[in-house]
Amino acid sequence: MSAATGVTRYTIGILALLSVVCIWVSSSFLMNNIFADQQYNKPFFVTYVNTASFSLYLLGPLFRHCRKHATSDTSGTTSPLSSGKSDVSSRSYGSVDVETSSASTLSDANLEQQQSIHPNDLPLTHKEIAKLSFAFCILWFAANWATNASLAYTTVASSTILASMSGFFTLAIGAFLKTETFSTVKLAAVCMSVIGVALVSESDRGESPHLEPTAPKAPLFGDFLALLSAMFYGCYTVLLKIRIQNESR
């Protein structure tokens, strides 16, 4: 990968991350309006519908699969031109040995290349993707359910800030499983996150639900659910890194 390609990928990644942040915060306000203001406290149903919408991604491959089969059915006959070309090739006895030798050389080269590839660099099969998706879906569902449920008890700001503590759990779990290494910068970031959590929790502790109709019902319980969501998301991220290894897979 060239340096220019790396910079481009990094820039696109940052823009995508900023987009995710904007969408995440916007969806949090929407969830808070659904659960708190309109008294529709059904986080499991909402999370189930949101997670099930991932199946819409299958429509693209399904369409391509159907179109591929339709194309292969219509082009099943052999044209006279290709048939004549094969006859000419079969009469070219002088080139048979050369072609056979070239094919054998290419086959040996491909075999050596496949043997030198690490198993973690091989593309995942559809069956492996399905198995991994089943494991990831449980943690993903738990993380989103906890986030949605917390919005019924605490504020959007508190839920968003505490849910972003997933970086702390990712670093802790990753270091325990030897997939992450501690550094001064990472330690400083984790400490700042912990201080932020303490300040948010202390602020919620002093709030009274009787101040206004839309005030948080149980801010500490909502904060706990948001932290639980961060823990589940940290587990999801570490498991993704352990099982996938390489993003090209």
Q: How far is CA 87 from CA 23, 80, 81, 83, 93, in A?
A: 61, 11, 10, 6, 11
At 147 the pLDDT is 87
Give Dmax (Cα) for the chain: 95
Predicted pLDDT of residue 92: 45
| pLDDT score at 19 | 93
pLDDT given at position 81 = 47
Q: Give Cβ neighbours of residue 215 (< 8 Å, ≥ 6 apart).
A: 207, 208, 209
Record the tokens describing residue 226, joined without a space: 């948001």
CA–CA dist 168, 191 (Å, integer) = 9
DSSP 79: P
The answer to whether the beta carbons of residues 121 and 249 sit under 8 Å apart is yes
User: Is the dihedral angle over the CA atoms 7, 12, 18, 21 positive or is it negative?
Assistant: negative
pLDDT of 141: 92
How confident is the prediction along the chain (249 residues), in pLDDT tens digits per residue? 567 777 788 889 889 989 988 887 788 778 777 776 556 778 888 889 888 888 888 888 888 888 888 887 776 555 444 444 444 444 444 444 544 555 555 555 555 555 566 666 788 888 888 888 888 889 999 998 998 888 888 877 777 778 778 888 888 888 888 887 778 888 788 788 778 777 776 676 565 454 444 566 778 888 899 899 999 999 998 888 888 877 777
Q: What is the pLDDT of residue 15?
A: 93
